[in-house]
Structure 1
């Protein structure tokens, strides 16, 4: 019975290997996010400093 289960598991792995190879590689992350976040943080910091200077 254990040998049958091992054979079934191995057969499932072999049959699924074709499907796994067909998956496209993950897309690289966008590098535009970091400069935008930096610009937003800079503008937010400048607004906070200006607000603090007014009071």
Structure 2
């Protein structure tokens, strides 16, 4: 088998397998990132208030 034949077979295999590849998942909604940020800020504020309460 020649190199040109091998390249042609590889290309044909890629084309035939392209229909079987999984589609990329949709991007995550931005609201989940916002909820995580707000949760982290609330947790940090609670820890800071607790530390301040213990100091005074």
TM-score after normalising by structure 2:
0.64
1:1-55 equivalence runs, <5 A: 4-31=2-29, 32-54=31-53, 55=55
Structure 1 unaligned segments of length 5 or more: list them.
Answer: none
Superposed CA RMSD = 2.1
Structure 2 stretches lacking a partner, 5+ long: none
Large movers: runs of 4+ above 4 Å:
none
